[in-house]
Amino acid sequence: MDFRTLEENLDALIAIWSPDRSARMARVALERTDFDDLAAAGLTLTGVPVSHGGLWLDTAQSAAQVARMLRKLAAVDPSLALVASMHSTVLLLWLVDPDDAVPRGWNQQRDRVFDDARSGHWFGTIASEPGIGGDLFATRSTASLQSDGSWRMSGDKFMGSGSGITSCMMTIACPEGEERPDIFLLDMRDLPWDGSQGLKMVRAWDGIGMAATQSHAFRFDNVQVKRHGLQGKILDLFPTIAPVIGFMFSAVIMGILDAATAEAKRSLGKRAERLSAFEQSSWIEADTQIWLAQQAFDGMSRALGSDTAGLDVLHGKLAIADLSEKALGSLSHALGGSSLSKSSPFGQWMQDVRALGYLRPPRALSHARIFQSLAALDE
């Protein structure tokens, strides 16, 4: 398997799924068969290094290729693409290569994680919490070390995208007796959601944007988790990982813009010759906004791995989020009231890009970090 073969496999699936795009966009739940098909195509290998039988070489050589495939997938099914994007971004936490000595058990944990992904298991995330404004380092969840060496976590979590599909989910909690939080891994296989083993679903996802992501909310009460094998050191390496995560999520937005542009051109057809001045202006605005979003996305891609990647990706993600909302609005103006029909995808795409604008990092946190960086320059 290589990236070319994976892309050919994915293109074949997209060709099968594309005629049913309207039905897919009306879904409020994920279909396991879709993920089985994607795993069979090789998409779960994107989060596995070449050394372990996967496709990932490094950020410079692999991130853009994975993003391109997520972008294609988002054009036919945004919810599916978002959940799929979580897989490779979560596994970045085990793709890191620490410079210093690693704790005992790190290599064994990596091997198990990559073996699961290579076998077709999906990884996701359930790290967000109510009341912390998207700042995962402000977690209120706690994890306690048991006498047998295992860890148990308690706390409230939401935005568990892919719940019911993912085999394992990354989360974050503060180990008791320590000041800094750490990454933990939750094995969701055979774990009931009724509270009988500590995990209780408290609210099913009902979002009007990214409606089929199954981003449920859960309460954890002494649920068994595994601590990340670097024992706290992963947070020191997180600044090198975060830009890739933002880039991947932005690829999903760009896929929606690709689909919206193509659909708008199809809908206009020969009527383009008879557009009013307002409709023409709206179309030009949309075209410019999408062009600018593409420039931001290209800039994010070039920045990955650089010293300024963190700030550059923050700027790019915010720009794409804002421009995509404006572009969908401009396209709707150009197309007219028919774009608001439930039979048209534009209303759903509008809600999808709005929802994606709040993902990793959320808008408020992005603005805060950019402002902090500007304030630091003045010191």
Question: Which CATH number describes the domain made up of 3-118?
Answer: 1.10.540
- Beta-bridge partner residues of 185: 170, 226
- Beta-bridge partner residues of 156: 219
Q: Cα–Cα distance between 29 and 23 in angstroms, integer?
A: 12
Phi, then psi, of 263 in degrees rounded to 5: -70, -40
pTM for the predicted model, two decimal places: 0.95
Q: What is the pLDDT of residue 337?
A: 81
- pLDDT (tens place) for every residue of the chain, 379 residues total: 999 999 999 999 999 999 999 999 999 999 999 999 999 999 999 999 999 999 999 999 999 999 999 999 999 999 999 999 999 999 999 999 887 788 989 999 999 999 999 999 999 999 999 988 888 889 999 999 999 999 999 999 999 999 999 999 999 999 999 999 999 999 999 999 999 999 999 999 999 999 999 999 999 999 999 999 999 899 889 889 999 999 999 999 999 999 999 999 998 887 878 889 999 999 999 999 999 999 999 999 999 989 999 999 999 999 999 999 999 999 999 998 878 887 889 999 999 999 998 876 778 888 888 888 887 765 5
Q: What is the pLDDT of residue 340?
A: 80
Q: Cα–Cα distance between 168 and 228 in angstroms, integer?
A: 13
Q: Residue 116's closest CA among 161, 68, 176, 170? A: 170
Cβ atoms within 10 Å, residue 297: 23
Tell me the CATH architecture of domain 123-234: Beta Barrel (2.40)
Strand residues in the chain grouped as ranges (E):
123-125, 142-145, 151-160, 168-175, 182-187, 199-203, 216-227
Q: What is the pLDDT of residue 378?
A: 59
Question: Which CATH number describes the domain made up of 236-377?
Answer: 1.20.140.10
Q: Cα–Cα distance between 82 and 34 in angstroms, integer?
A: 13
DSSP assignment of 105-121, as one string? THHHHHHHHHHHHHTT-
Task: Give the three-state DSSP class for 49.
Answer: strand
- Break the chain into its structural domains and give their ranges: 3-118, 123-234, 236-377
Q: Residue 314's closest CA among 374, 259, 354, 258? A: 374
Report which residue type is found at 180. Answer: R
